[in-house]
Amino acid sequence: MGAILTTDDRRQIAGRGMNLSGVEKQLRNFQDGFPPIPLVAAATTKHGIQQLNPRRIEELVELYRLYSEDHKIVKFVPASGAASRMFKHLYEFRSFYRGTSEDQLELLKDRGPDSVYYFFEHIREFSFFPILLDACENRGLDFETVMDESRYEKILNTMLTDKGLEFGNLPKALIPFHSYGEEVRTAFAEHLTEAVHYAISGNKHCYIHFTSLPQHVSLMEAHFEEIKKSYEAKFNIKYHISYSIQQPSTDVIAADADNNPFRDENGNLVFRPGGHGALLHNLNKIDSDLLIIKNIDNVCHDRFKDDTYLYKKVLSGYLIAMQDQIFSFLNGLDNPTQPSMKVIESIWSFVENKLQVIPPPESDSWRKEEKIEYLIKKLNRPIRVCGMVENEGEPGGGPFWVKNHDGSTSLQIVEASQIDRQNQDQEYILQNSTHFNPVDLVCSTKDYKGKTFDLSKFIDPKTGFITEKSIDGKVIKAQELPGLWNGSMSDWNTIFVEVPLTTFNPVKIINDLLRPEHREFQ
């Protein structure tokens, strides 16, 4: 494999802060592929997903309230995505639409809620409509006349390009999402608003970390400066906002159809972002006692936020309760005097029934020392409590029982693309899954001695996957790193808790903002 890479290639790799052996391993992955995840069963509320009663919910909320008084809580928001993906259907329409002839208007025949027709039919209802009107006026366009003449491409040019609002060049964080009378909130501002209801540390301090593309950091900083004073006064808190970018060293080399390095017209190697799994590098640098992870586009109008506020506290309280018990056990095991078999059996039961890590079959014959070693290894890991929402559509990636490399069985978040769909037994397990993961995680990344874990040591490197992309009309193979909430966290202690569907309100395309949960009025 090393002979494929030239001296210039090696310089390019080093210049990106990448390791040569790592790039060679990526190329071998194209050749060898990634093994499918061996599912044992779907995690359900009967086995694997916790359902909490009202009394327990109250206890956990109070536990979290007390904990947050003297611990640092950080909300971590993956926000590296460009807004252009939200407008994909509008971009495609704009590339073909040239006028009002019958064949052109035929492009609007789809009237569904995700269609271009639906977008223009309801365009006046978006929160950004007033500033779109102003942008049209600045270009000398009369909005009503343009709409009457069906010159929709002029509206899209004004909205998406540097001729107007430049939405297509903004981060998703800065797209106006919701209206509150005269106030219009971006996705960024909604996360600031949410955080004061469940991510306050000590005496009115609110820590939020946004990941970003390099070109977007200054835009997000400027937006925060615009609203900082009014938001801190409104909520009587102090914000501490930080940012990080996806490092070039976490990119992945692209390959051609023959699994050789793909090169651009100048003969240089082509690298692509490694997916959200690359953000583990960012997460690894956060100093916190408790992390709350939520995607940038999963926000809703204030009218629908109560469940979100409640269940973030519930998940946090659940993690704290589990962490207290885990730390207590580890302190007992970390003792020159070995615990009795009765104590070991008690801890063993906790790992199996509460942490839901099933030991390998041969563990029955292990010596006492081997059992202690196993318990310490399984307990002394980062912890995550993941909210799980009941499926309402086709089954897909989500919570499963998985066979691990060491023979144990535990709970994992698995994407559908990681499953062997040709295997009837594996397909049956997938089809019988009942819940999915809305990227709703509360995490602890410190051990029982207060030392921060090196999160890179808890990745399953065999859980990446390969997709096909296109560059300048040429098909290439792209590779994604183990995902942040699946493969990158596969060796964490993992607990699943059912949360209501009302906590999941993603905005994947701009038309999603027309749904009730994103509207000021019914």
pLDDT tens column, 44-79: 999 999 999 999 999 999 999 999 999 999 999 999
**What is the identity of the amino acid at 251?**
D
Average pLDDT over residues 246-255: 90
Mean pLDDT, the chain, rounded, equals: 93
Q: Could you give the angle at which helices 368-379 and 306-333 cross, rounded to 10 degrees?
A: 150
Highest mean pLDDT, choosing among 11-20, 74-83, 191-200 = 191-200
Average pLDDT over residues 165-189: 96
H-run or E-run covering 239: strand 238-245
Helix orientation angle between 306-333 and 341-353, rounded to the nearest 10 degrees? 160
CA distance 38 to 36: 6
Structure tokens at 439: 């990227």
The owner of tokens 């701009």 is 510
Say what the pLDDT of residue 1 is.
44
Provide the residue count of the chain: 522
Confidence of residue 471 (pLDDT cuts 50, 70, 90): confident
DSSP structure string for 426-457: HHHHHHT--EE--SEEEEE-B-TTSPBP-GGG
At 394, is the pLDDT very low, low, confident or very high (cuts 50, 70, 90)?
Answer: low
pLDDT in tens, 316-360: 999 999 999 999 999 999 887 888 999 999 999 999 999 999 999
C-alpha span between 381 and 361 (Å, rounded)? 22
Average pLDDT over every residue of 5-33? 92
Closest CA to 352 of 411, 406, 414, 437: 411
**pLDDT score recorded for residue 395:** 55
Residues of the chain with pLDDT > 90, as a percent, come to 83
Q: Are 415 and 436 a contacting pair, CB within 8 Å?
A: no
Q: Are 494 and 411 in contact (CB under 8 A)?
A: yes
Ramachandran region, residue 279 (left: φ > 0; alpha: ψ -120 to 50; beta: rest): alpha
For residue 256 the two structure tokens come to: 């051609």
Which is nearest to 403 in space by CA: 497, 280, 490, 498?
490
Question: In the prediction, which pLDDT does 465 show?
Answer: 85
Residue 409: what pLDDT?
97
Its pTM surpasses 0.85 = yes
Which pLDDT tens digit goes with each residue over 115-147? Answer: 999 999 999 999 999 999 999 999 999 999 999
